[in-house]
Structure formats: C-alpha cells, structure tokens
C-alpha cells in the first residue's frame, strides 16, 4: 500500500499541489503554499460495508414540510435579510470590511435575543471581555443578560459548547482567529479556517443552536479563506458601505431559508446601527432637483423596491486616456452604455472624463439601471437637467432597444409613494406583454429605443441655442 504524502495547500485560494512551488498557479499569489497532512481516507469501500450501514430511506415528491422555526433578532432589517429570523441549528457567515459594523450589529442582535429570554453566547477571539463590555456600554446594552467569553483555542470552545444544552445563539468573532492544535498551520490559514468551521457547524447541528461566524474580507472584497467555507454555511451575509459613510447595507448572497439578494439598510450612529425602514426616502433626502447629470432610478433589491439617485459628471479630458471613475455600478457596463449612446444616438462622450456615482453608498447590480444611467449621462452631456419628478428604469441593448425588466408595478408604486409624478420605462411587448398598472396621478412615458430618451434633451438644447442666437442678434 502506497504511503500517503503530505500535500501543499495555497493559503489564499485553497488550491492543492503535490509539491511546493513559489507561485500558486490557481490564483497567482506568491509564497502562499504550506505543507499539510492529507485528510483521512473516506469512502464506501469494503471495510465500510463490512462495518455495517443503515439503509437510506427514499420518499416521493409529494408531501409538505412545516417551515423552519425562527428566532427573532429584534432588528427588523436583519430579520428581513435572514428571511424572518435565525433558524435553530443553522450556520450564518457574516463578512465585511474592518470597522464597518459586523461586531456592532451582532452584539446588538445577541443582546436583544438574550433580553427576550433566550440564552445567547458571544465568543470573541479578537477582543478581551473588557473591550466587549465597553462597546456594550456605549451601545446602551450593559444590562442585557448576554454571556461573554474570550477564547481562540477550538478545543476549549468546543468542550464548552458541548456542555451547553439550552443555548439559542452562539456568535464567533471571528473564525480567522480560531486555531486547532492538531494542525501545524497558523490561525487564519485555509486548513485552520476549514477545520474550525466544520467543527463548529457540527456542534450547531447536534446541539441545536444558531451559529453566527464573523469572517474577514480581502482587499478585493471577498471573504478571506477558502470558498468552501461559504458552501458549508446555510447563509452568507455581506456588509457593504464605506466607513466614512453613515449608511450600511447588509446583503444576503446565499440563504437556504430565505430569498437571496435581500438587503437591510442601517444607519451608523453614536448609539450603534439604527434600522432604516424606508431607505428610498433616506437615499433621496439630500437630492437637489434641476441639476444636470442627475436621474432617479427605481430599482429592486431582493423583494424591496428602492429609489436611488444616479449622478454623472462629464469633464474635458486633460490629455491622454480619458478617466472612467465609477462608484456603486459596473465599470464595464458604463463603457458599453457610452458606446451605445455614441453609435446609436450620435453623442460624443469618448473624449471626456466620466464620473458616475450611485448616491447613498448602495451598489446596483441589476441591468434595469441602464436607462437611469443613460438619462444621467445625456443630461450631463447636454447640460439639461432631467425632470426632478420622474423616475427611470429599463435595460438598454446593444442596438439601442429598451428591454423589459421585472416587477415594474412595485417600482411604480414606490415612486408614487414618495411623491414622484412620472416614470420613463420600457414599452410593453406587442404580443403577450402586460402593461404596468396605471397608478393615479402617475404619468408613464413608454419608450422603445434609446433615441427616444435622447430626443427631448436634444430639443431643449436646440431651443436654448436659438434663444442665445436671438439674444445676440437683438
């Protein structure tokens, strides 16, 4: 029988190599390969069959199962992202940049769960108990019956959790600080993170408590450690936003018990993270009307309609390659949209520096924002403001056509609720198309091509030029 050889695992991406090399061929990082012992062989071989196994029961597709029970966190926005609350015996991974508020929101949620009569345990591997108490005092949570501990050794944490039979919630802050003495690698490496997470998830499944793991992120914004960690947990939540900005966006990118791409909006204050029940009003609170380069986008985040302001600024390029600076949107999609405006509408945008910003710190990923971005670009290029009481949504194709998007009625209702009087949206399909509900007091402008959006701005610019010429002649 061949002897098992040690393998070399990249600590950046988790790729496995038979021997050491300076550069990882999978992710391109240097000096990230470390030697590890191979995992024990497992599989349904003759020895496993001889040991005896229990027959797996197969059932049909018919039948109903009760929805999983929920543990309310006391934060409505967090419950929305989780799908209604924490599920017992589940594992949730929360990631985000340092200082964005991961520990704050989990401390608030754990304290509220403990105050509601359930037992909550908070284990910190980055801070001492005194530091956690100081944060709780600042947040006004010092009276909550929350149980704290500071530990990094997985054996000690596992032994303690094995004896806890009535815990409803266990928070580990963070998974990168834990270490297992059976492994030679340092804390935070691929092997340590994978082994520690697997043991904690096993405890959560067997003991029935909800487990929340805090994960660090890399400079690219992805969770540090192996990608397999995201597959091991039941839900993965990302904290978005800038530390210098007051808004925080909690987004679900994976959820086995609820909808994905659901968001929760919070505002960072001196007393911690405060829920924002109506994010549209907050994102548009500082908006100024009648300013060129601004348009309001009616978007959908998960199941919630959200209205945000799209801002565009064009400036003559100082020379060389024009700059394309984008915050909150896809840079490649901006380049495609500018190419469509130049090729299909005759606008000259390529020699200008273009700056695009989604106000409020929200990141937009859906293609429905194309029409609002195009409106902001055309408004900035012609120096003519958009209608301040109009919202825009629709996908733009390469031929300039405006394509349909989902949940048009929900977008229109949100716009009407916030006092908007009009909407520019895609034209309904000739066959099988369903027109959006005509809401009272809301005028709809259905367009089928990007040229229909540019024409009003060009007409306004033409009239302005004629007025200037007439004033000079007079």
Q: What is the 3-state secondary structure (H, E, C) of 70-98?
A: CECCCCHHHHHHHCCCECCCCEEEEEECC
Least confident of 28-42, 126-140, 459-473: 459-473
Say if residue 399 carries a ligand binding annotation: no
Paired with 358 in beta bridges are: 310
Strands in 228-293 per DSSP E:
235-240, 247-255, 263-269, 272-275
- Digit-coded pLDDT (tens) for 265-293: 999 888 899 998 888 988 888 888 778 99
Residue 26 has pLDDT above 60, yes or no: yes
What pLDDT, on a 0 to 100 scale, did the predictor assign at position 458? Answer: 78
What pLDDT, on a 0 to 100 scale, did the predictor assign at position 108? Answer: 96
Residue 215 has pLDDT above 50, yes or no: yes
- Please give the average per-residue pLDDT across 224-233, as a whole number: 72
Say if residue 98 carries a ligand binding annotation: yes
What pLDDT, on a 0 to 100 scale, did the predictor assign at position 360? Answer: 81
For tokens 């293609």, the residue is 367
How far apart CA 469 and CA 302 sit, in angstroms, is: 51
Cβ atoms of 358 and 327 within 8 Å: the answer is yes
Quick check: pTM over 0.95?
Answer: no
Cβ atoms of 418 and 280 within 8 Å: the answer is yes
Order of all β-strands in the sheet with 33-36: 16-17, 7-10, 33-36
Say if residue 97 carries a ligand binding annotation: yes
Nearest to 35, CA basis, from 71, 5, 9, 62: 9
Residue 142 has pLDDT above 50, yes or no: yes
CA 393 to chain centre: 21
In the chain, domain spans:
1-37, 76-277, 287-429+436-466
Say if residue 99 carries a ligand binding annotation: yes
pLDDT higher at 361 or 207: 207
What pLDDT, on a 0 to 100 scale, did the predictor assign at position 41? Answer: 53
Residue 431 has pLDDT above 50, yes or no: no
Q: In CATH, which of 3.50.70.10, 3.40.50.300, 1.10.3720.10, 3.40.190.10 is domain 76-277?
A: 3.40.50.300
- Please give the average per-residue pLDDT across 301-321, as a whole number: 89
Residue 259 has pLDDT above 80, yes or no: yes
Measure Cα distances from 240 to 246, 300, 362, 376 in Å.
11, 17, 8, 24
pLDDT band at 430 (very low <50, low <70, confident <90, very high): very low
Residue 354 has pLDDT above 60, yes or no: yes
What pLDDT, on a 0 to 100 scale, did the predictor assign at position 1? Answer: 42
Say if residue 25 carries a ligand binding annotation: no
What pLDDT, on a 0 to 100 scale, did the predictor assign at position 9? Answer: 82
Strands in 285-430 per DSSP E:
294-301, 304-316, 324-327, 352-358, 390-392, 395-396, 402-403, 422-426
CATH topology of domain 287-429+436-466: Ribosomal Protein S5; domain 2 (3.30.230)
pLDDT band at 404 (very low <50, low <70, confident <90, very high): very high
Say if residue 346 carries a ligand binding annotation: no
What pLDDT, on a 0 to 100 scale, did the predictor assign at position 62? Answer: 87
Average pLDDT taken over every residue of the chain: 86
């Amino acid at each position: 029988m061949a002897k098992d050889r040690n393998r070399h695992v990249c600590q950046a991406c988790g790729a496995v190599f038979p021997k050491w090399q300076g550069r990882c061929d999978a992710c391109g990082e240097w000096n990230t390969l470390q030697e590890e012992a191979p995992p024990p062989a497992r599989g349904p071989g003759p020895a496993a069959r001889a040991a005896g196994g229990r027959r797996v029961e197969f059932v049909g597709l018919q039948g109903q199962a009760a929805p999983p029970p929920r543990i309310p966190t006391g934060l409505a926005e967090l419950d929305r992202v989780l799908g209604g609350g924490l599920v017992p015996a589940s594992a949730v991974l929360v990631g985000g940049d340092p200082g964005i508020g991961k520990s704050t929101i989990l401390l608030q949620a754990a304290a509220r769960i403990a105050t509601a009569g359930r037992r909550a345990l908070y284990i910190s591997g980055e801070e001492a108990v005194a530091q956690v108490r100081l944060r709780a005092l600042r947040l006004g949570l010092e009276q909550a019956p929350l149980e704290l501990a500071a530990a990094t050794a997985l054996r000690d944490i596992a032994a303690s959790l094995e004896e806890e039979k009535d815990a409803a919630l266990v928070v580990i802050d963070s998974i990168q600080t834990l270490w297992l003495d059976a492994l030679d690698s340092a804390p935070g490496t691929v092997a340590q993170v994978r082994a520690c997470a697997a043991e904690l998830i096993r405890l959560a499944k067997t003991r029935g408590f909800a487990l929340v793991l805090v994960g660090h992120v890399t400079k690219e914004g992805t969770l540090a450690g192996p990608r397999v960690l995201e597959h091991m947990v039941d839900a993965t939540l990302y904290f978005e936003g800038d530390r210098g900005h007051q808004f925080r966006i909690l987004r679900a990118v994976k959820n086995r018990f609820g909808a994905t791409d659901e968001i929760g909006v919070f505002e960072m204050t001196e007393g911690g993270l405060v829920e924002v029940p109506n994010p549209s009003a907050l994102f548009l609170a500082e908006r100024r009307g009648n300013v060129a380069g601004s348009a309001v986008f009616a978007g959908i985040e998960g199941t919630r309609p959200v209205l945000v302001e799209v801002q565009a600024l064009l400036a003559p390029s100082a020379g060389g390659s024009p700059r394309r600076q984008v915050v909150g949107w896809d840079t490649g999609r901006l380049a495609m949209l500018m190419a469509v405006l130049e090729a299909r509408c005759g606008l000259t945008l390529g020699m200008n520096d273009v700056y695009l910003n989604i106000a409020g710190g929200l990141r937009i990923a859906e293609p429905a924002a194309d029409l609002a971005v195009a409106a902001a670009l055309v408004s900035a290029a012609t120096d003519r403001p958009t209608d301040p009481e109009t919202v825009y949504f629709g996908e733009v194709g390469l031929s300039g056509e405006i394509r349909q998007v989902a949940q048009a009625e929900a977008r229109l209702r949100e716009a009407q609720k916030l006092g908007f009087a009009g909407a520019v949206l895609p034209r309904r399909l000739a066959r099988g198309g369903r027109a959006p509900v005509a809401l009272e007091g809301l005028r709809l402008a259905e367009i089928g091509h990007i040229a229909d959006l540019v024409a009003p701005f060009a007409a306004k610019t033409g009239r302005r030029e004629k007025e200037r010429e007439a004033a000079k002649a007079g």
